[in-house]
Every structure is written in C-alpha cells, then in structure tokens.
Amino acid sequence: MFDKIKDFASDFFVTGDPMILGAQVSIGLTLVAIVFVLTFFKKWGWLWREWLTSVDHKRIGIMYIICSILMLFRGGVDALLMRVQLAMPNSEFLQPEHYNQIFTTHGVIMILFMAMPLMFGLFNIVVPLQIGARDVAYPFLNSLSFWMFFWGAMLFNVSFIIGGSPDAGWLSYPPLSEMSHSPGVGEDFYIWGIQISGIGSLATGINFIVTILKMRTPGMNLMKMPMFTWSVFSSCIIIIFAFPILTVTLALLFLDRFLGAHFFTLDGGGNPMMYINLIWMWGHPEVYIVVLPAFGIFSEVVATFAKKRLFGYKSMVFAMLIISLFSFFTWAHHFFTMGSGADVNAFFAISTMLIAIPTGVKVFNWLFTMFRGKIQFTTPMLWTIAFIPCFIVGGMTGVLLSVAPADFQFHNSYFLIAHFHQVLIGGVAFGYFAGLYYWWPKMFGFRLNEHLGKWAFWLWNIGFYVCFMPQYFLGLDGMTRRTYTYSWDMGWGPLNIVSTVGGFLMGLAFLFQVWQIAHSIKFFKEHKVGSDPWDGRTLEWSIPSPAPIYNFAVLPKAEVADVVWEEKQGTVKKQPVPTTYEPIHMPKNSGIPFIMSAMWFFAGFGFVWGWMWLTIPALIGVAICMLARSFSYDTDYYIPAEEVKATEDAWRGVKV
C-alpha cells in the first residue's frame, strides 16, 4: 500500500531535479503565504466580490496584465536558464531533456500566456474607452474569456512540477508529440492548457468585433475610429478565422494520443505533414494577431507625442486590413524545406514578401508623423522610437528568410531565432510596453516613474542587441536551433557568452520595471495625474483616471477623428457639461465564469491523467454552469442618476 502511494507520488510529482524541487518548495510557500495573508486580513470576500466575479472590462484588463507580467517572469527565467546552458561549450548545467522542456515552455508561455494576455489586457482597458462605450458587447463572456485563459495557463504551468513539462517544441510537431515519442503527460498538459485558454481567446475575438462594430458612440463612423481600435479590429478578425483551426488541430492531436486515432501518426495511414500545415495555418496568423495591436499602439503614441495628426490614416487602415487578409496565405513559408515543391514554395515566398509592402507603408507613416513634430521623449515614445530600427532589421532578415532557396540555408538555425526574437521583442514586447506605460495613468490614476522607466528602457535595448545580434552570426556559422550543447572546436563559445550577457541585461531590465512599478505604487501621491496627463487626442482622455465604472456619464459625440484634441484646439465645439443625468444600465457581477473555467481546468486535468472520474463530473459541472447562466434573468441593474451625478460632480470639483 505504502509503496503504491510512493510509486504514484513519484509519477505524479516531478522529482529528482534540485531546481524543480526548489521551485516546488517556493510555489508551496507562496501559496501558503497568499492564503495566510488573505485570511489574516479577511480579504477573501473582497477578492471574490471585487475581482474574481467582476465583469468590469477595466478590472478584467488589469487582471490580464498582472497574469501576463507573472508569465513574463516565468518565461524569462526559462530563457535565462537556456542562455546559461549555452554560454559555455560542453556545459552540463541542464540535462538534455530538461533543455527540451524549457525551450518548449518558454516559447508557449511567451506567446500564448504572456503576449496574448498583455494584448487582451490592453484591448479591455482601452477599446471601450476609445470608442466612447460603457462596456464591451458581452461583459459576462468577457469575464469567461479571462478565466478560461487563466485556468488554461495554470493547467499548462503546473506541468513542470506535476507530471512533467512538454518537450516537443512550442508547436508540438508530430511524431515527437505523439504517444510513440512522448508517452508522458507533458503533451496532454500542452494540449489542454492551450485548448482551454484558446477558447477564451476566440470568445474575446468575437466580443471585440461586435463591440467595435456596434458600440461606438454616436458620430464615430469607422473612418473616425482611433488607430488602436482599428488594429484591435484587424487582430480580432484574424482571431476568429485562425483560432478555430487551432482548436481542431489540438483536438485531433488529442484524439491520436487518447483514443489511438491516426490523424498524424506515422502508422495507420496518418499524415504528420497535415499537422504541420494545420498548426501553421493558425501559427502564422497568430504572429500578426499579436503584432497588429502593437502597430496600433505605436500609431497612438507617435501622434500624441509628436503633437501631430497621424500621417496617412487611410493608408494605415488599409495596410492593416491587407495584412490581416494576407496573413492567411503565407503559412507554408515555415516548411519550405519539407518538400512542398517549387511552385508551392514560390507562391508562399512571394506572398510573404508582399506583406513587407503594407508594413513598410506603416513605418513610413510613423516616420512622416514624427517629421517636423515637436517630439516629447516620454517613455512610451522612447519605446516607439526604439521599435522602428529594430523592426526594420527584423523585417529585412524576415524577407531574407522568405526567399525559399535561402531558407534551406538558414532554416532552423540561430539566424531564425535572432530574426523572430527581433520582431517579437522589438515589435510585440516593446509595443505592449509602450502601451502599458501610455495607458497606465488611465488605469490607475498615477503615472509610472519615468526615471526608473528610462533605466529599464536602455537596459532592455542594449541587452536586446547584445543578446541577439551575435545569434545572426552564430546561425550563419551553422549553429542550429534547439542545440543543447556544442564542443569547443565549433568556435561558437565567444559569441554565445556575449549573447548570454545580453540576456541577463534584459533580465536586469525586467527587474527595473518591477522596481519602477513598486516604487510608483509606493509614492503614488507624487505620481498622481488628472484625466489627461499626456495631452492626448482620443476619447479615453476625456474621462477621469481611473475611469468610473460606467466610463461615460453621457455618451460623447465624436463627429471628427481625435475629438479630444480637436476640442482642445478649438476646431470643434466643446461638449457642454451635462446638467442632468440618466440612470445607467450595467451588468451584474457573476461567479459563473470563474467556476465554469475552474471546471474546465479539472476536466483537462482529468484528461491529462486519464482520470474519467474527475473529467466527467467536471464536464457536467461546465454544463450546469451554462444552464445556470441561461436560466438567470436577473443579470443587470441600474446605477441611479443621483449616484452618477455625485460621481461626476466630485470629479469636476463641483461643491455640493
């Protein structure tokens, strides 16, 4: 009996690695500490009422951002572990299997659990405010999306202490990901973690498309919409077409593993190449999903801090829509070397290069906006400026990679690693940082310390180039991707150590950001700002910071683009201060999204271990939650007009 329990425990928990043991202990201690603090300060009720059940898009956005920062930490630690392993030839810091697990979890976490939620956080905080809406179209669904992401991410994350992490790469190519090559539970954690959070992402896509199409304030037609909102719209269009493909792909892989189906197996008539096609039909558009909103942020930031209207608004919109369409016709450039034939390769090479054109248009528009502007070098602007050269280099190396014959040379080398980090860090991460700094005052009512922010900025940038420039040369020199170690005579040692130093500079930069946030919270009184700290242009700057629960007491009129700016310039009439208010219709909080997503977590956990006694009740729980929602009619309430008036008067400083 005792032996059996011991056997099970050693199967269930990952044992034998001192680093993982350390992580297990510290996770355990942190959990105990959190429970203790919440209980001691009697905060459970508050947490539940104010946050876990909230359907307020601003709170949901904040929760996304907190999770994303935690995931950036986890993904970053993975990255540094890899860099330590690669710093020296013949290093034995990590075991080879451990290395495979780390590059897999690093890739998945950075893209799906760091970039995506950071992006969704910004969507949530900004879009309703920019279009003059009181909420998103479906607040309940919005909360459900968040919790599906949260519990999916948790399911993926526990794999490294329970059961073992996946190790077949961030896209889990078969046959590596099939039972024959990965008999452990890691791949199942991968499948269910991503599947659950992916459903949440799909729902967010639908939610924001409807929000943007149907909830704009009177007068704001599509061509007066702020650029960030446009970028969210384009990104959501890609989401609704790409994510169902991911759902199917993961489901099929799961059927192979769980029921012995033969979709992608090497035997039984399966076709692994089909997986590679399917996963990239999602995977390539996915990179545009994450990068387009960054483009939107840069457009807002450039216009605000150059104090000029965005150059070429129409061409920006057009470029964005073209990119979202074209993103679906390039997927095969990820496997030029896998025998698709010359015609197919030529088609995908050309379609890939074509995307450079609308992207180039955007870069020129940003440059022209800055040209002769009175540029203010605030942190959001610094990130934007740093992005441009970074993205140009990344874009050029990308075009190099899209030349099919050249790809035979660079394919799977460190040249590729350097390229995609250049676009993902320089484009996506820098973009979202710019956005986070830019809208932080709107979220919390105080600004982040600019001095510490500049330290973080410079460290990130220097670290970035020190880390990734050497990798282009390593790639040209033949160092392949996912190399676990190399010998002295390869001559790759010096460049690798430089690269690792760069990685640690970025780690240090992250610490500066954490310090910056902690410092600004501690001294928030000194950093307090009013509604319009940057002298902004769009509607979100016309309401208090942080915004009241209903956002706009009276829906604003938006007869021109950049209304707030035009009002300040006097080119359009200021909107009168309202004297009377009406009651405002709002959604009630609900615990169902949290509970239902937790049920999904347990269902997924049960599938991972083959525990149907857990999965079946959990799925029944999901169904009950859905019915409970369908049967509840008492889902909204009114904020009384007097309350709205009191809130607004307090903000305007009216004495009563």
Partner 1 sequence: MAHAISQAGHHHGHDHDHEHEHESLKTFGFWIFLITDCILFGSLFATYVVLHQNTNGGPTAEELFKMPGIIAETFILLTSSFTSGLAVLGMHKGNMKQLIGWLIITVLLGASFVGLELNEFIHMVNHEGASISTSAFLSAFFTLVGTHGLHVSVGLIWMIGLVIQLRRRGITTVTKRKVAVISLYWHFLDVVWIFVFSVVYLMGVM
Sites of contact with ligand HEM (CB under 6 A): 76, 79, 82-83, 103-104, 106-107, 110-111, 115, 169-170, 417, 421, 424-425, 428-429, 467, 481-482, 503, 506
3-state secondary structure 44-91: HHHHHHHHHCCCCHHHHHHHHHHHHHHHHHHHHHHHHHHHHHHHCCCC
State the nearest-atom distance from the C-beta of 351 to Cu ion, in Å: 10
Q: How far apart are CA 386 and CA 381, in angstroms?
A: 9
State the nearest-atom distance from the C-beta of 291 to Cu ion, in Å: 11
215 contact choice in partner 1, Cu ion, ligand HEM, none (CB below 5 to 8 Å, kind-dependent): partner 1
Query: What sections of 404-551 are H helices per DSSP?
Result: 404-410, 414-423, 430-444, 450-476, 493-522
State the nearest-atom distance from the C-beta of 271 to partner 1, in Å: 7
The binding track of 105-134 with respect to partner 1, each residue x by CB under 8 A or -, is: -----------------------x----xx
Residue 262 sits in the site that holds partner 1 (CB under 8 A): yes
Residue 161 sits in the site that holds partner 1 (CB under 8 A): no
The binding track of 594-623 with respect to partner 1, each residue x by CB under 8 A or -, is: -----------------------------x
User: Which amino acid is residue 473, in one-letter code?
Assistant: F
Which segments within 480-626 are labelled E, that is strand?
584-587
Quick one: which segment of 464-472, 496-504, 559-567, 628-636 binds partner 1 (CB under 8 A)? 628-636
State the nearest-atom distance from the C-beta of 70 to ligand HEM, in Å: 14
- Yes or no: say if 103 and 482 are a contact pair by the CB < 8 Å rule: yes
Q: How far apart are CA 512 and CA 108, in angstroms?
A: 25
Q: Provide DSSP, 622-634.
A: HHHHHHHHHH---
Evaluate the omega torsion of the peptide bond into residue 244 and state whether it is cis, within 30 degrees of 0: no
Phi (first) and psi of residue 584, to 5 degrees: -115, 130
SS3 272: helix
SS3 584: strand
Q: How far apart are CA 399 and CA 600, in angstroms?
A: 41
7 contact choice in Cu ion, ligand HEM, partner 1, none (CB below 5 to 8 Å, kind-dependent): none
Nearer to partner 1, 65 or 584 (CB): 584
Quick one: which segment of 310-318, 350-358, 396-404, 551-559 binds partner 1 (CB under 8 A)? 551-559
Q: Which residues contact 137 (CB under 8 A, 6 or more apart)?
A: 207, 210, 211, 214, 215
Instruction: Choose among 129, 563, 534, 575: nearest CA to 309.
Output: 563
User: Which amino acid is residue 478, in one-letter code?
Assistant: G
SS3 645: helix
Q: How far apart are CA 57 and CA 546, in angstroms?
A: 13
Contact pick of 158, 255, 322, 511 for partner 1 (by CB under 8 A): 255
Residue 633 sits in the site that holds partner 1 (CB under 8 A): yes
- Yes or no: say if 448 and 517 are a contact pair by the CB < 8 Å rule: yes
User: Which amino acid is residue 333, in one-letter code?
Assistant: H
State the nearest-atom distance from the C-beta of 284 to Cu ion, in Å: 3
284 contact choice in partner 1, ligand HEM, Cu ion, none (CB below 5 to 8 Å, kind-dependent): Cu ion
Q: Which residues contact 445 (CB under 8 A, 6 or more apart)?
A: 524, 528, 529, 544, 545, 546
Nearer to ligand HEM, 104 or 369 (CB): 104
State the nearest-atom distance from the C-beta of 198 to partner 1, in Å: 12
Contact pick of 251, 367, 521, 650 for partner 1 (by CB under 8 A): 251
Instruction: Choose among 524, 375, 356: nearest CA to 445.
Output: 524
Residue nearest Cu ion by beta-carbon distance = 284
Quick one: which segment of 282-290, 309-317, 511-519, 631-639 binds Cu ion (CB under 5 A)? 282-290
Nearer to ligand HEM, 65 or 429 (CB): 429
Nearer to partner 1, 138 or 460 (CB): 138
Nearer to ligand HEM, 279 or 539 (CB): 279
Nearer to ligand HEM, 14 or 467 (CB): 467
Nearer to ligand HEM, 243 or 605 (CB): 243
Residue 104 sits in the site that holds partner 1 (CB under 8 A): no
Residue 579 sits in the site that holds partner 1 (CB under 8 A): no
The token pair that represents 628 in the structure block: 């409970």
Nearer to ligand HEM, 345 or 513 (CB): 513
Q: Which residues contact 178 (CB under 8 A, 6 or more apart)?
A: 253, 256, 257, 264, 265, 266
- State which of positions 199-218 bind partner 1 (CB under 8 A): 202, 205-207, 209-210, 213-218
Nearer to ligand HEM, 132 or 283 (CB): 283
Contact pick of 284, 308, 421, 442 for Cu ion (by CB under 5 A): 284
Contact pick of 9, 248, 612, 650 for partner 1 (by CB under 8 A): 248
Q: Which residues contact 28 (CB under 8 A, 6 or more apart)?
A: none
Binding site for Cu ion (CB under 5 A): 284
Binding site for partner 1 (CB under 8 A): 128, 133-135, 137-139, 202, 205-207, 209-210, 213-218, 240-241, 243-245, 247-249, 251-252, 255-256, 259-263, 265, 267-271, 274, 278, 550-551, 554-555, 582, 584-587, 623, 627, 630-631, 633, 636
